[in-house]
Amino acid sequence: MSIIQGTAKGGSASFYDFPIGDSLRFDGSSYLSRTSVTPTDAKKFSISFWVKRSTLSDAQTIFILGNTINDSGLIIFEDSTRANQLAFIELVGGSYSVQYSDVRVFRDTSSFTHFLLVGDTTASSMLSLYVNGNLMQSTTRDPNMNNDPTPNDSFEFNKGSRQNIIGGRYFGSLTVPFKGYLANIQFIDGQALDASYFGETKQDIWVPKIFDGTSSTGGSTVSTDYGTNGFLLDFSSISGTTINDTAPIDTNHSSANNWTATGF
């Protein structure tokens, strides 16, 4: 198991209220898997993760949820004409139902970057992307990736009884794999939260914070319940090939959503 100690941000606990101690290295042949459960609210989610890439240019899938590629939701670093852009894509019946991407490219292989993708089909802004705490503006959205979700519809990315993969796509074999490091992966099922619940700025540096329901900028206090389909992977608890979900047990998140590690 390629657990890397202290590579995400480093620093002392006095500066980092929540220093990331562990990250998981994906080498292109390794992945995590689980089967999703019935979500608390398939119309709302927040997914927060820290990434350090090892290789660039080729397409690399970070997350995918679906039993086939034709009906799935995924987060991917793009290739071809959109090399190294981060995109959120959903497919229904083999056709793109959602396409959402930032025109900026992410080529840093020397340090971690924090991404937060937020979905809420009940809101006017149904998708939001934060990079190191900064909200992507409409002016930086890729005009060729502008298919929004259907208002009040459920996300393919948060449905139950589907194969969920971190580190690539797996439908009989691993394809479009991710190569690099992932740390502090948090999926909040049923809440659409901004970046201030997952990080804070200290001395002009965006650093992680514990998700405790409070905002680092003084926003409203929210529930700390990760939801039935939610999870926290901080890689602090591993049993053989099982990566344990360390999110607190709560009303909806009543049991851990653990993952199986393959190829590490």
pLDDT, residue 21, reads 65
CATH number of the structural domain spanning residue 135: 2.60.120.200
Structurally, the chain folds into a number of domains equal to 1
The pLDDT tens digits of the residues spanning 154-164 come to 999 999 999 99
pLDDT, residue 138, reads 85
pLDDT, residue 16, reads 47
Place of tokens 């657990």: 3
On the question of pLDDT at 5 being above 60, the answer is no
pLDDT, residue 9, reads 37
pLDDT, residue 54, reads 94
Residue 239 sits in which domain range?
3-262
On the question of pLDDT at 187 being above 90, the answer is yes
Residue 71 pairs in a beta bridge with 68
The pLDDT tens digits of the residues spanning 207-257 come to 999 899 999 999 999 999 999 999 999 999 999 999 999 999 999 999 999
Q: Which residues lie below 8 Å from residue 19, measured CB to CB, with a gap of 6+?
A: 6, 8, 9, 10, 11, 12, 13, 208
Q: Which DSSP letter does residue 236 get?
A: -
The pLDDT confidence band at residue 12, using thresholds 50, 70 and 90, is: very low
Which comes out higher in pLDDT, residue 3 or 205? 205
pLDDT, residue 17, reads 52
- CB of 246 closer than 8 Å to CB of 236: yes
The pLDDT tens digits of the residues spanning 73-108 come to 999 999 867 878 999 999 999 999 999 999 999 999
The pLDDT confidence band at residue 39, using thresholds 50, 70 and 90, is: very high
The pTM score is 0.92
The pLDDT tens digits of the residues spanning 49-80 come to 999 999 987 899 999 999 999 999 999 999 86
pLDDT, residue 10, reads 36
Write 84-89 long-range contacts (CB < 8 A, 24+): 84/56, 84/57, 85/142, 86/115, 86/129, 87/142, 87/145, 88/117, 88/127, 88/129, 88/157
Write 84-93 long-range contacts (CB < 8 A, 24+): 84/56, 84/57, 85/142, 86/115, 86/129, 87/142, 87/145, 88/117, 88/127, 88/129, 88/157, 90/149, 90/155, 90/156, 90/157, 91/66, 91/156, 92/156
The pLDDT confidence band at residue 139, using thresholds 50, 70 and 90, is: confident
